[in-house]
Amino acid sequence: MERHPLELVGLISPYRTSETSETPGPYDPAFVADIARAYEAAGYDRVLVGQNAKSADSLVTATWVAAATTRLKLMVAHRPGFIAPTMAARGFATLDQFSGGRAGVHVITAFSDIETRCDGDYQTKDERYRRSNEYVRIMRRVWAGESPCDHEGDWYRFENAGSEVRPLAGSIPVFWAGTSDLALQFGAELADVYAFGPGSVDQIAAQVVTVKAEAETHGRNPRFSMSMRLVVADSDEAAWARADALLQGVIARQARHGALGRDLGKAAEIVTANAAQADDAAADPCLWTGLTKATQGRLQVMCLVGSPETLVQALLRYRAAGIDNFLVTGFDWLADTHRIGTEIGPELRRLGNGPA
């Protein structure tokens, strides 16, 4: 099958500080525009506008990001179930028009019941995935301009739906995540980009094989995304020293202020277990799970550590495993964004976009 070109993806932060900073910074709308422009200047292709149960609204934030940039594409996290899919379809179509065709929706079904209950959603994970499946199919019907658009399903019922605004290209790319059976089943049918969390090369490769095989039964060839934090410095030795300093800072912050990160319940145990399985220095000498373990999975911050040259080679191993979209960020937002985009991105593209 056709090999997709590589994309470099960033993460929009509304805070000038990172999780490893000694003290958290205030919510800063101006920094959202600053970091968005930094990603664009550094050559990133796209940014994720994240969402959790306590975060700012992702669609509004994405509009602010689009206004601050000219070419940067968007990957906007959205949780089905809290607004009608017809309304969501119109919202994303409007963003797509305002941004000149740069919108993308990242469907977040949420693996933590604690997160969803914050907003009053008490459905089980399987129920949430079934709802997301129906939700995405409805959005695509609205984007396609189906008229009249009537629907009676397991989760939604409406009559004569539609939208005065449609996406510039006729639809909007759908990003999808999850490793449960239903997540894989529906994602293989629906996703334009299947997104994985961090893991070892072997873990990611196994997930790619599983989703690709299921997608091929539907005649589909989705892109694959992986998120990873990078600890970069001039040399490998300096990068590992920086990693140790980050770890010591997190340990000290937790000693002063208590557990760092979000309460994810059982989901945090899964994250910690995955980190333990990935922690094989012989197989992945750059992979570092120290921050994940230090926070007992409340921070899902698996990292690759090294110089720019070392990190390019580490990321190419994930490229060989099937990854097309690299969601890679650092810890010093502006400085690391510039360095990743200008010192790692070009060489990663040059080598990663060659013959498979």
Whether residue 270 is contained in a domain is answered as no
Q: Is 134 helix (H, G, I), strand (E, B) or coil?
A: helix
Whether residue 256 is contained in a domain is answered as no
Please tell me the least confidently modeled range out of 115-119, 154-158, 192-196: 115-119
- C-alpha span between 181 and 129 (Å, rounded): 10
**pLDDT (tens digit per residue) in 258-290:** 776 665 555 545 555 565 566 655 578 999 999
Mean pLDDT of the chain: 91
pLDDT (0 to 100) of residue 176:
97
* Arithmetic mean of pLDDT, 235-248: 96
Whether residue 77 is contained in a domain is answered as yes
| Bond preceding residue 167 cis, omega within 30 of 0 | no
pLDDT at 108 over 70: yes
Phi (first) and psi of residue 86, to 5 degrees: -65, -40
52 pLDDT band (50/70/90 cuts)?
confident
Whether residue 45 is contained in a domain is answered as yes
pLDDT at 133 over 90: yes
Q: What range does the domain containing 200 cover?
A: 7-229+307-352
pLDDT at 70 over 70: yes
User: Is the distance from CB of 297 to CB of 268 less than 8 angstroms?
Assistant: yes
pLDDT at 103 over 90: yes
pLDDT (0 to 100) of residue 217:
95
What is the percentage of the chain residues whose pLDDT exceeds 70? 92
- C-alpha span between 305 and 281 (Å, rounded): 12
pLDDT at 20 over 70: yes
| Number of domains forming the structure of the chain | 1
Whether residue 253 is contained in a domain is answered as no
204 pLDDT band (50/70/90 cuts)?
very high
pLDDT (0 to 100) of residue 28:
96
Cα 38 from chain centre:
18
Q: Which tokens in the block code for residue 106?
A: 């990242």
pLDDT (0 to 100) of residue 349:
97
Whether residue 260 is contained in a domain is answered as no
CATH number for 110: 3.20.20.30
Q: Which tokens in the block code for residue 104?
A: 């993308």
pLDDT at 153 over 80: yes
Whether residue 280 is contained in a domain is answered as no
Whether residue 292 is contained in a domain is answered as no
Residue 354: Cβ within 10 Å count = 9
